[in-house]
Amino acid sequence: MGGNTMSNKYDGHWKRTKSLTTITLVIWAFFGFAVHWFGDLLNSSSFPGAYYMAGQGSQIAFALLVFWFASRQNKIDEEFGFQEDEEK
C-alpha cells in the first residue's frame, strides 16, 4: 500500500511540473517569437523605436520568467515533499 501512495505523490508532482513547464514555454514562445513577428507593425513613423523596445522588453520578460518558474517549481516541490534541503 505504501508504494501506491508514493506513486501517487510522484504522479501528482510530475503532473504539476509538466503543467508549469507547458505554461512557461507558451509564455517564452510569445515573447520570443510572436512579438517579433509583428516587427513591421511595431515600427511606425509615430513610434520608430517600438521594435527595439519590444526586443529589450523580451529580454526583461525572459529574466522575470526564469525567477517566476523557479519560485513556482519550489512551491510545487514543497507541496509534494520534494524540496531541497538547505544546508545550515
Q: Does residue 29 sit within a domain?
A: yes
User: Three cell numbers at 27?
Assistant: 509564455
The pLDDT value recorded for residue 47 is: 75
Q: Does residue 7 sit within a domain?
A: no
Rounded distance between C-alpha atoms, residue 5 and residue 46, angstroms? 61
Q: Does residue 45 sit within a domain?
A: yes
Domain that holds residue 28: 24-80
Rounded distance between C-alpha atoms, residue 36 and residue 70, angstroms? 26
The number of domains in the chain is 1
User: Three cell numbers at 8?
Assistant: 501517487
Task: Give the count of beta carbons closer than 10 Å to the beta carbon of residue 31.
Answer: 19
Q: Does residue 31 sit within a domain?
A: yes
pLDDT in tens, 7-32: 888 999 999 999 999 999 999 999 99
The pLDDT value recorded for residue 12 is: 93
Rounded distance between C-alpha atoms, residue 74 and residue 84, angstroms? 9
